[in-house]
Amino acid sequence: MSAIAKALPRLRPEEMEDPKEHLMHDPMPRGDMNTMVLDSMHTATWKYWTVVTILAFIVVTCLGYAWYYLIMQGLGVSGDDRPVYWGVFLVNFVYWIGISHSGTLTSAILRVLKIESRRPFTRVAELMTAFAIVNAGLSVFMHMGRVWLAYWMIPYPNERTIWPDFHSPLMWDFMAITTYLICSSLYLFLPLIPDLAMVRDRSKGWVKTFYKILAIGFRGTEGEWKNLHLAMNIFAFAIIPVAFSVHTIVAWDFAMAIRPGWSSSVFGPYFVSGALLSGVAAVPIVLFLVRSTMKNMKYFLRPEHFDTVGKMLLIISMIWAYFYFNDYIVSWYGGDKWEKILNLFVQTGPQWWLWYLMLFCNIVVPWSILWRKKWRQTPWLMALVGILINVGMYTERYIIVPEMLTINRMPFTWHSYIPRVEIILTIGTFALFLLLYFAASRILPLIPAWEVQEGQEGHILRKIGKARIPTISEID
Amino acid sequence: MSDKISRRDFLKLAGVGAATTAVLTGCGPAARLVQREPYTKMPEYTYNGLSTYYATTCRECSAGCGLIARTYQGRAIKVEGNPNNPVNLGKTCARGQATLEGLYNPQRVRGPIKHSRGQSLYGSDNQNVESNMSWDDAIQVVADALSKNQPNEIAFLMGMAPDHLFDLITDLTKAINAPAPIRFGALGMFEARTTLMQAANDLLGQSGLPFFDIGNADLVFSFGANFLETWLSPVAQTRGYSSLRRRNPNQRGYFVQFEARMSQTGAKADEWIPITPGTEGLVALALGSLMVTASGASLPAAYSNVDVNSIANVSGVTLDTLKRLANMFAGSAHPLAISGGAALGQSNGLQTAEAVLTLNALVNNIGKDGGVFLSPLAPLADEYHRPASIREMDDFVAKLQSGSIKVLFVHGVNPLFELPKSIALRDAFKNVPQIVSFATFPDETAVQADYIFPDKHGLESWGYQKVAAGAGSSTLSGAQPVVSGVYTADGAVPQIFYDARATADVLLAAAQKAGGTLASALKFKDELEYIQSQLKGLLGNTDGFFSAAEINTFTAYFQQNGGWWKTSDDRVAPSASNALNKTFNATPAQFVGDGELYFVPFVEPVMAEAGANKPWLQEIPDPTTTVVWNSWVEINPDTAAQLGVDNDDVVLISSDAGSVEASVYKYPAIRPDTIAMPFGQGHTAYGQFAQGRGVNPFDLLSNATNEAGDLAFASMKVSIKKTGKKRQLSRLEGVIGVYENFGQQP
Amino acid sequence: MANDLNSPVKMNMSQDAQGKWGMVIDQDLCTGCQACVAACSMENNVPFVGEVDAGYGRNMQWIRIERFWSGSFPDIKMTSYQPVMCQQCHKAPCEPVCPVYASVHSESEDLNLQVYNRCIGTRYCANNCPYQARTFNWRDYQDARQRPELVTLQNHLNPDVTVRRRGVMEKCTFCIQRIRHTEDTAESENREIRDGEVVPACAQACPASAITFGRIDDPTTQVSQAAVTSRAGHLLEDLGTIPHVTYLAGGA
Amino acid sequence: MIKSFFNALNQPLGRVGVLIVFLALLSGAVWGIAQTQKTPQQPIDFPHNIHVGVLKIPCLYCHPGALRGPSPGLPTITKCWGCHQQLDITKTSPKLVPLVQAVQNNTPLQWVPVMWIPDFVHFVHRPHIAAGLNCETCHGDVSKMTVYQTPQVINMGWCLNCHRSKTEDNAQNNPTNDPAVAASLAEERIKLTDCSTCHY
């Protein structure tokens, strides 16, 4: 911290930022802060209910009814065909897994690295994990021809004396996602406990009972805090390899197949970087929405947090580009005829523009905007960048799944793919994601108040001469 | 098996059929709906779960292939070729395989119906119109028609197959001195049977259908003959083709095809030579002339008028190519030239057929292995009764138009679909007071009839068929019912669903009712008795596949083996002594209309004229274009680019005779000055799978004929106009993979 | 462009009698007449899907006859007709990817099985099949409650073959019901199966006799002898799937 | 409102109500499952105990297909009538009225299959009989039944257990050093546990 003190005198006054801009140096009494968090939870205007109603309606029709229709009619109502046996459902699956990935992973990495500006938004990111994984699971179930028999993937002793096949990447996937779902739910839940306890203590009646159950009797004793921190530390470290493995295994669903374009050894890290890119890009969107729609949030979520996410985005975008061109150049230089045709098809085929859209959104946009601090600190711009990157990453998955499936080793069968009922169901999943967020925003404290408080307690502004120097005491 | 027992008795079954088919569903609990035990009286030899096989004859076209039908608990499950039948030796074509979809078609005529002309035979919900009269009344109607009209006011129009019903109706017409039944079929017209027979008669001095021995040849020049598709006897000819390629392991037979549009047959050729339509005969003459010139002999009369250079010009085949081909033909040990298809459907078709026969005579292969024979005459046949040519049909329609025919019986043919619109049969029908159709299916002609007395489907019928082409031995294919019918089990008592009755039975009963000479001439209890009376002619023949001295034994063997055929080689070797003496004028073909494009209609090989109501045939891709479920127009990609049309654009094709709209298929193997359209779709009735699907190219044809009287179906010149509409053709091939630039327009 | 991409590869990979049943298709003889397609569909209860679905790449036929174009007019040639069905790979890529053993190898017959009732419809096997030989039941094509026209047409369904419902993958089985039936007959007569006794529906119908079927572990059978000629090759042999369908090159 | 509802549930009556609802749901489920396991109603209550137990008619007399092919078959009225037309009881017994009527009207007796196997399983009786299995091994002792009921739940595990144990027994009962015999036993075992044996 002394480095900052040395650097400060060189800045001219107008360049000096007010340390108070940082949440950590803008402390607030605990009681007030808890009230603010509770207030934001309990404020539900007519606008809120209107949006929730609309979202619920979309979920019931676009997700519920359309899926019922899909199940009853069979996958004929989707756009899948030969050779594009996997369509938008699998795109959605990879996309949502990617989103889900980043929430927990970002939070875990930031926690492990002790990045202080993480404190107010880890919860938002972790919730993203939980809700996105719900959508990812739903997408897989939508994709299945006979979803009512999906339980056959569960290994349990049965009257048929037959087990699932553990050779199948889909089984690994099933296992990995189940593990990830459990781990990330726990990882979401652990830091929630003190906040739930806080809500419990400030509510009455059956609501209190509800939070009483959720808070599993947390009373804030020294021992409880110690155990909580220990558990969180273990999980933060443990979940990083789990998250990496999950998305690597998702990549293996593709990479293990003998198909041109898919069968690539770099697909694992490439998919992980892609997942991070889309997931981290989703964070500023959610932050922006939360900050601009919920009460008291401007205090918690500040430009500095957008700045942190922006820096991460820039780096991840570069990593992604590195892996993408690595994969691309290897396949191009390899000169395999099928890879060649596939690349030609992606770039000049009927849907050539998708490829350029992907490159624009994933590389041009972040590289040209995120280098500048001022732009990084503009919430709406960051939200826009986040949306564009998500469009780009969705396009990337679209290219990998239906576009690449169009080209196989039997040119006589090459038929293109036009999504049909998938579009409606995709809208439904997005609506479900939002609806879950909206519901969560009134049930769970979106800001981990205790973590912010903990951080603020550790951060102190010291006056040295005229300058106020931020310092931090060792926490943990 | 005595003649008192007909299998119908013990095939009577129950509980099967419509509502509760034994195998309803696959992997769900719905399989609980299964009901078993279709029989009330199970035949001794039948076990549940084991199949019973019957030999019969395929009725999908007139080739007369032998079938073995597998039946299971009273239902026909699968048909396969009869390995003993000399026509197909155990093989079948796609149409034969799909014959079951005719038997179990959702749209068959439910029973005898009296109906007003033009009214559909199935409703908008695709439910069949119920029968509204009894068979007794139906027989009375036929009896009245036969007895109350003057004999020359009665006309019979029949399908192409020379079967027992044709014999029966011939006997019937003889008994009352009515005109002999007319036989007709669109396939016969496309095959130009009249032209082929006329050419044989002119050059070889002997009438009969030519038999081209492809299997024993080394080199085949085919002038438009689509012998692997629907021409004469495709299964037998495909067998011949197979032998052409593989008979001699050291030397693979070579095959050259001359035609303007690459047919499925042309696709299998080693060389496909796109010549101008109508110049096939000229090229044959040029080849012959070049061969003679090269050998240094003097030109025979046939080639006296041949100017090789001008033929090279007009046909679009270079002189070098002609010389090379002539050399090849002359140098081959067993060369064979075949004419057929669109080459004969030209104004100079007879000249083409004769020029090609001359080419065969020149290499001296008439009556030799690997050469040209005449098809053997079937047992019981006095001569080959060919189907009517278009000229004869024109005369027949004129007769109908004049009102001199009071009652018309139609069986086995759908003339309203199978005749060009320019032959105004529909109008002529208005002048016929009574039309009786024996159609099994609600086809266009049945819809225009006053009475429909449905015949049984081929797999429910007795019969025999005199094989006209394809078999090297004299063959009579035998048919027997393999199922007793299609039943429903709505109530406790199973009901026959399609209450059809054999037309022969109807006619025999009507003859008895009509009385007089008719009754005494046709004193048969039923169809089977009539067939036995015919088969008596074969008793004691020892040169056959089997022999028997007594008719009941013979009939049993006949049914068991699926017919009777000789074991000898019965191909007729005609004399070729005068074949080279006919002079030709070497006239190019005349074309009708002033459009800029030649128009080549061809028979869709899988569907042909009557396959459109079978969903499986609809879904089987056309072998060359892979289009399913619709009709299309084939245009060379360059021509399409000039016209500014792309795949799936709807164009208006108009000729002097009419116009149709169809989707474009950019077909790379067609001359730029030619367009082609398949025949087989464009039904306005004929069941839910056929109706309203595609267009009929016959709407574009005039009634111009060639010298022999066969329809000059390839003699139209048409023009094309873009309509701006688009209708996607369904095809099996992936356009992205099969065509350049991922199938996008460059 | 894509014309010559999937002509059979000749890699002189030794047969090593890998496998049990094999098929040889002579492309020189195949006339593309589609009789095999019809016969297969009739034998194996393959549904028809209608015009729209058929045009969208959802044909359910277990055999498709491929053909490409080479050259341009007037020197255009159609490449030899190539019937493609499940190649019954000895090392099939479709098998390990199925999570529930629905696509599974038959150890006793060395065929790729598709156990319809076990299939949950992930469609991974179809993606991983380099020959694109698998078809999927996109709808309840065989359900008469949804397609009233089937009420009569259902009568010819083959009781020896399961009728598939929606959401199930299917493919050519080498007519395993006929293999089983013949085995049963041979067993009841206490003898071995004779060469040529098992005939799949496609080979049975083929008017050109272009399809031969039999045991490839016995060098004396017709199919073994046809498979060792110089014209023999396999589709995508470089993938090492060891397919059991041998193609004899056309036009030579 | 929600609160008062929960409060109401806390009352003794409310708890009883919850219990009643729970029991109703449970018994409904049990009843539903029991329905699917019931032996179906046959057109005639055919007394197997008399025909097999007393009259000693062999199974294969009425179900001859078991010896030859996949399905043993259920007898048609012809077979019943062959004996019954000679018996006086046919005219008098009210239980046989359906048979008499069926014969008079020439309608089938629609027996309902009890030993039901889904149609994606291709079961063939012949090899099982050939392998020396008795009918009662799978079908139970019908001489003690009237209307036929299945003695066990039929599922894949049941089939496979038998296939496995039989092949194991065969291998144990024939200890051999002959590699050919051992190979054929191993082959039998593979064949009998192969999916393609029953599913295609």
Q: Which chain C residues touch D if contact means CB-CB below 8 Å?
A: 101, 104, 106-109, 111, 113, 115-118, 159-163, 173, 176-177, 180, 184, 187-188
Q: Which fold has domain A2-153+166-472?
A: Formate dehydrogenase/DMSO reductase fold (1.20.1630)
d(CA B3, CA A108): 91
- A160 interface with D at CB cutoff 8 Å: yes
| C156 to chain B: closest CA residue | B77
ipTM reported for the complex, 2 dp: 0.89
Residue D69 is nearest to which of B27, B36, B49, comparing CB atoms? B49
Instruction: Check residue B350 and give its pLDDT.
Output: 92
Number of domains in chain C: 1
Cα gap B401→B395, rounded to integer Å: 10
Instruction: Find the range with the poorest average confidence among B222-226, B550-554, C200-204.
Output: B550-554
**Residues of C numbered 31-70 whose beta carbons fall under 8 angstroms of chain A's beta carbons: which are they?**
53, 56-59, 64, 66-68
Start-to-end C-alpha separation, chain B: 70
Averaged pLDDT score across all residues of chain B: 87
Entry field: residues in chain A: 476
CATH code, domain carrying C154 = 3.30.70.20
Query: Average pLDDT for residues C137-155, to the nearest whole number?
Result: 86
Percent of chain B with pLDDT over 90: 60
pLDDT at B745: 74
The Cα A325–Cα D159 span in angstroms is 55
Contact B18 C152 (CB under 8 A): yes
Indicate the pairing of strand B407-411 with strand B434-437: parallel
Residue of B25, B35, B41 with shortest CB distance to D110 = B35
Q: Does the beta-carbon distance from D107 to B36 stay under 8 Å?
A: no
Answer yes or no: is D149 within a domain: no
Question: Which domain range does residue D32 map to?
Answer: 2-36
**Cross-chain residue pair C106–D196, CB shorter than 8 Å:** yes
Restricting to C residues 171-230, those with a Cβ less than 8 Å away from any Cβ of A are none
In chain D, residues with a C-beta closer than 8 Å to the C-beta of A205 are: 3
Cβ–Cβ of B252/C252 closer than 8 Å? Answer: yes
Chain-centroid distance, C-alpha B677: 18
Predicted confidence (pLDDT) at residue B315 exceeds the cutoff of 70: yes
Q: Does an H or E element contain C22, and which?
A: strand C21-26
Three-state secondary structure along A65-85?
Answer: HHHHHHHHHCHHHCCCCCCCC
Residue D196 has its nearest CB partner, among C113, C161, C188, at C113
CB D196 within 8 A of CB C106: yes
CB-based contact B449:B727 (threshold 8 Å) = no
Looking at residue A461, what is its pLDDT?
67
Report how far apart the first and last C-alpha atoms of chain C are (Å, whole number): 23
Instruction: Inform me whether the pLDDT recorded for D86 exceeds 80.
Output: yes
DSSP state of B305: T
C-alpha to C-alpha distance for B257 and C208, rounded to whole angstroms: 19
């009739």: which residue's tokens?
A: C42
Angle of CA points D8, D14, D18, to nearest 5°? 125
- Whether residue A75 and residue C126 make contact (CB cut-off 8 A), yes or no, is no
Burial of D43 (0-12, 13-18, 19+ CB in 10 A): middle
Look at residue C130 and tell me whether its pLDDT is greater than 70: yes
- pLDDT for B3 equals 34
Q: What is the largest CA-CA distance in chain B?
A: 84
Q: Where do we find the tokens 């090297």?
A: B472
Q: Judge: D156–A159 Cβ closer than 8 Å, yes or no.
A: yes
List the subunits that have 3+ CB pairs under 8 angstroms with A: B, C, D
D partners (3+ CB pairs within 8 A) are A, B, C
Report whether B609 contacts B185 (CB < 8 A). yes
The predicted structure's pLDDT at residue C8: 66
pLDDT of residue B4: 35
Residue A101: C-alpha distances to residues A106, A112, A180, A283 (Å): 8, 16, 9, 12
Q: C148 and B17: CB-CB below 8 Å?
A: no
A468 burial type by CB count under 10 A (0-12 exposed, 13-18 middle, 19+ buried): middle
- For position A14, what pLDDT does the model report? 55
Report the C-alpha gap between B532 and B167 in whole angstroms. 13
Question: Could you tell me which chain D residue has the CA closest to the CA of B40?
Answer: D108
Please compute Rg for chain C using Cα positions. Answer: 18
Listed range (A107-116, B150-159, B313-322, D19-28) with the worst mean pLDDT: A107-116
Dihedral in degrees, nearest 10, Cα atoms B468, B472, B475, B480: -90
Q: pTM for the whole thing?
A: 0.90
Contact A67, A142 (CB under 8 A): yes
Beta bridge partners of D197: none
- If you ran DSSP here, which 8-state letter would residue B682 be given? -
Check residue C242 and give left, alpha or beta (phi > 0: left; psi -120 to 50: alpha): left
Does A409 contact C236 at a Cβ distance shorter than 8 Å?
Answer: yes
Neighbour subunits, B (≥3 Cβ pairs < 8 A): A, C, D
CA atoms within 13 A on the CB side of D37: 10
D120 touches A: beta carbon within 8 Å: no
Q: Which of A76, A144, A168 sits opposite C138 (nearest CB)?
A: A76
Beta bridge partners of B597: B718
Contact C101 A165 (CB under 8 A): yes
CA–CA distance, B383 with B197 (Å, rounded to integer):
12
Whether residue A452 is predicted with pLDDT greater than 70 in this model: the reply is yes
Query: Do residues A324 and A395 touch, judged by C-beta distance below 8 A?
Result: no
Among the ranges given (B66-75, B91-100, B149-158), the one the predictor scored with the smallest mean pLDDT: B66-75
**In the complex, which subunits touch C with 3 or more CB pairs below 8 angstroms?**
A, B, D
Best mutation target among B50, B91, B239 (most C Cβ atoms within 10 Å) is B91
Which of A150, A191, A193, A199 has its CA nearest to residue A170? A150
Q: Position B717: which residue type?
A: K
Helix (H) or strand (E) holding B56: strand B52-57
- Residue D1: predicted pLDDT: 58
Percent of chain B with pLDDT over 70: 92
Element (H, E) at B407: strand B407-411
Partners of residue C180 in chain D, C-beta under 8 Å = 122, 124, 196-197, 200
Measured between CA atoms, the residue of chain C closest to residue D195 is C106
CB contact under 8 A, C124 and A80: no
What DSSP designation does C250 have?
S
In angstroms, the separation between the Cα of residue D11 and the nearest Cα of chain C is 48
Residue C210 has pLDDT above 80, yes or no: yes
Cβ separation D70–B49 shorter than 8 A:
yes
Nearest to A362 by CA among A320, A404, A331: A320
CB spacing of B742 vs A345 below 8 angstroms: yes
* Cα D145 to Cα D148: distance, rounded to the nearest angstrom: 6
Residue B96, CA distances (Å) to B60, B606, C35, C39 in order: 6, 10, 8, 9
Q: Which is more confidently placed, A42 or B1?
A: A42
Instruction: Give the per-residue pLDDT at A17.
Output: 63
Go through the domains of chain B in sequence order and give each one's CATH number: 7-104+463-497+550-565 (2.20.25.90), 113-185+387-452 (3.40.50.740), 189-374 (3.40.228.10), 597-743 (2.40.40.20)
For residue D76, the distance in angstroms to the closest alpha carbon of chain B comes to 6
Helix axes B280-295, B349-362, angle to 10 degrees: 20
Q: Is B506 exposed, middle or buried (0-12, 13-18, 19+ CB in 10 A)?
A: buried
Alpha-carbon distance of C211 to C204, in angstroms, equals 8
Q: Do A412 and B734 touch (CB under 8 A)?
A: yes
* C-alpha to C-alpha distances, D197 to B224, B617, C106, C183, D167, nearest whole angstrom: 50, 33, 9, 11, 15
Q: Which residue of A has its CA nearest to D154?
A: A159
B44 at interface of D, judged by CB pairs closer than 8 A: no
CB-based contacts of C242, cutoff 8 Å, min separation 6 = C13, C18, C19, C89, C90, C91
Angle, in degrees to the nearest 10, between helices B503-514 and B527-535: 100
Q: Does A409 touch chain B (CB under 8 A)?
A: no
Please, which residues bridge with residue B601 across strands?
Answer: B677
The answer to whether A350 contacts B742, with C-beta atoms less than 8 Å apart, is yes
**Each residue's pLDDT tens digit, B636-646:** 999 999 999 99
The residues in B 659-688 lying below 8 A from C, measured between CB atoms, are 668-672, 688
Separation between Cα atoms, residue A36 and residue A52, nearest integer Å = 22
Return the C-alpha torsion angle B259, B265, B269, B273, nearest 10.
Answer: 10
A-D interface: how many C-beta pairs under 8 angstroms?
A: 17
Contacting residues of A for C147, CB less than 8 Å apart: none
pLDDT in tens, C6-30: 666 555 444 455 678 999 999 999 9
* D22 touching chain A per CB within 8 A: no
CB contact under 8 A, B737 and A345: no
- Kindly state whether residue D95 falls inside one of the protein's structural domains: no
Q: Which residues from D are below 8 Å from C117, CB to CB?
A: 118, 120-121, 199
Q: Does B40 touch chain D (CB under 8 A)?
A: yes
Note whether residue D136 is domain-resident: no
Minimal Cβ distance to C111: which of D118, D120, D196: D196
Contact A94, A164 (CB under 8 A): no
Query: Is A153 at the interface with chain C, CB within 8 A?
Result: yes
Chain-chain contact of C32 with B90 (C-beta, under 8 angstroms): no
Could you tell me the two tokens for B371? 């050469």
Domain of C94, in residue numbers: 2-248
Residue D170 burial class via C-beta count within 10 angstroms: exposed 0-12, middle 13-18, buried 19 and up: middle
The predicted structure's pLDDT at residue B275: 93
Domain count, chain D: 2
pLDDT value, residue B414 = 93
Residue showing tokens 């374009």: A261
> Would you say residue D26 lies in a domain?
yes
> Could you tell me the pLDDT band of residue A18, with boundaries at 50, 70 and 90?
low
